Amino acid sequence: MASPLPRDPIADARLNWERHGWSDVAAPMAAITAIMRTQQILLARIEGVLKPFGLTFARYELLALLSFARSGALPMNKASALLQVHPTSVTNAVDRLQQAGLVIRSPHPTDGRTTLIELTQEGRTLAKRATAALNSEVFAQSGFADQDVDQLIGILGTFRRNAGDFSE
Amino acid sequence: MASPLPRDPIADARLNWERHGWSDVAAPMAAITAIMRTQQILLARIEGVLKPFGLTFARYELLALLSFARSGALPMNKASALLQVHPTSVTNAVDRLQQAGLVIRSPHPTDGRTTLIELTQEGRTLAKRATAALNSEVFAQSGFADQDVDQLIGILGTFRRNAGDFSE
DNA sequence: TCCAAACCCTTGGATGTCCTAGTATATTGC
DNA sequence: GCAATATACTAGGACATCCAAGGGTTTGGA
């Protein structure tokens, strides 16, 4: 770990924005930059916990998604939509998960274009163990106060809806 | 743009967590997942605005950092620390910025190990124009209410301090 | 003084993301 | 019924990030 900086670099950036006459957008700039940095910190923690399982966050997300599908299988385009990532990213993740024996590709029964991703028994077991690890080592010690968690869910939920993630 | 999903996938994930008996960590899981997704949305917007300038976010951040240094130059290790990215990422960004004529590498006057990154006149001009574009097209229309911006800055600032980003 | 440890940057490799293009299959419209 | 359009997945390329390792430079203690 790098040693802490003496000053908050984002607060400094905000001051620079204000000094240059961009005070009207200095606060949103700081908030957005803070989101970028927070994501980076959280991702590093998550990947650290998943590494012993031979998983990355991208692969874990797919595994977890499949484990919640009653049938344990999903079309690739559905997975792409739910995970909100590009189809090629799903192809990439499935390639590696399949190579590790955690999922298998199978043809869709009625649509010849579609490929189903199916969890193997091994994949299901690993998903369970990885989730337990994330729950205890990341989510249970998130570093956010309970009330802040609620604030974040509300603020970011509104943002995502306005950004067109979902309509509900 | 993908069409909006009928339901919020993160809210669904939270329900799945609760159904599986992980209610105690369902909320932090949702908050962290929302941060990951929000970062993805914001990064896409930023990269979209920067693309016409031939810049990526990583390169822009470095350019902006240099433009705020009075001398217009910084040691690479300093840039790495302030941007909170791995030294190799800075090497990569500098390679490309240098190739584009926006920065130049110069030897440190007293420490032979250190390389200074220096903004060219062209680089300084481009940084100004790119910042103006980000200010008007992203930060001024962030999609966050003013009070939410303040909430985010506070919550994420506390988180980053606790995570060891800075000590102040 | 001198050598080992610390530090700085770069190279090479692995992973993930996106974009563009291409192939195959479905669906739609005339 | 057949051509045009839409949809699903994959291949190849550009970028960014990290880690591990290597070569050059400085520093500090014996």
Structure confidence by residue, pLDDT tens digits, A143-165 = 999 999 999 999 999 999 999 99
* A163 interface with B at CB cutoff 8 Å: yes
Count of structural domains, chain A: 2
Whole-prediction pTM: 0.94
pLDDT value of residue B1 = 45
Nearest residue by alpha-carbon distance to C1' of C12: B88
Residues A127 and A62 in one domain: yes
Assess if residue A142 is contained within a domain: no
Beta-bridged to residue A53, according to DSSP, are none
Q: Cβ(B114)–Cβ(B105) under 8 Å?
A: no
d(C-alpha A61, C-alpha B61), whole Å: 29
- The residues close to strand D, meaning Cβ under 7 A, are A 40, 44, 75-77, 80, 87-88, 90-91, 94, 105, 108, 111, 113-115; B 56, 58-59, 85-86, 88-89, 92-93, 96, 110-113
Tens of pLDDT, residues A44-64? 999 999 999 999 999 999 999
Q: Are A60 and A132 in the same domain?
A: yes
Are A104 and A74 in the same domain?
yes
Nearest CA in chain B to A15: B68
Do A120 and B10 touch, CB atoms closer than 8 A?
no
Q: A165 CB near a chain B CB, below 8 Å? A: yes
For residue A77, the domain's CATH number is: 1.10.10.10
Please check whether residues B83 and B126 belong to one and the same domain: yes
A22 in the same domain as A78: no
* A44 touches B: beta carbon within 8 Å: no
A82 and A32 housed in the same domain: no
pLDDT band at residue A2 under the 50/70/90 scheme: low
Say yes or no: B86 and B97 in one domain.
yes
pLDDT of residue A1: 44
Q: Judge if A12 and A59 occupy the same domain.
A: no
Distance from C-alpha of B149 to C-alpha of B162, rounded to nearest angstrom: 20
| pLDDT on residue B115 | 96
Regarding whether A96 and A63 lie in a shared domain, the answer is yes
* pLDDT, averaged in runs of 10, over chain B (168 residues): 82 96 97 96 96 96 95 94 96 97 95 95 96 97 96 97 90
Higher pLDDT, B121 or A3: B121
Contact B154/B147 with Cβ under 8 angstroms? no
Residues A37 and A108 placed together within one structural domain of the fold: no
Residues B44 and B12 occupy one common structural domain: yes
pLDDT for residue A98 is more than 50: yes
CB contact under 8 A, A5 and B81: yes
> What pLDDT is recorded for position B72?
86
B-interface mutation test, from A1, A18, A36, A61, most B Cβ less than 10 A away: A36
In a domain, B148, yes or no: no
End-to-end CA distance of chain B: 41
User: What is the residue range of A127's domain?
Assistant: 55-136
Residue B3 is predicted with a pLDDT of: 74
- A41 pLDDT above the threshold of 80: yes
Which has more confidence, B133 or A72? Answer: B133
- A contacts of B159 (beta carbons < 8 Å): 38, 41, 143-144
Half-sphere exposure of A55 (CA within 13 A, CB side): 28
Residue A70 has a pLDDT of 87
Let me know if residue A112 belongs to a domain.
Answer: yes
Q: Per-residue pLDDT tens for B89-133?
A: 999 999 999 999 999 999 999 999 999 999 999 999 999 999 999
Measured between beta carbons, the chain A residues lying within 8 angstroms of B16 are 68
A27 and B138 within 8 Å at the Cβ level: the answer is no
d(CA A80, CA B50): 26
Question: What's chain A's Rg over C-alpha atoms?
Answer: 20
Q: Is residue B60 part of a domain?
A: yes
Q: Is residue B96 part of a domain?
A: yes
B147 within a domain of the structure (yes/no): no
If phi > 0 it is left, if psi is from -120 to 50 it is alpha, else beta; for residue B107 that is: beta
**Residue B145 domain-assigned (yes or no):** no
On whether residue A153 sits in a domain, the answer given is no
Closest approach of A159 to chain B, Cα-based (Å): 6
Q: Are residues A46 and A72 in the same domain?
A: no
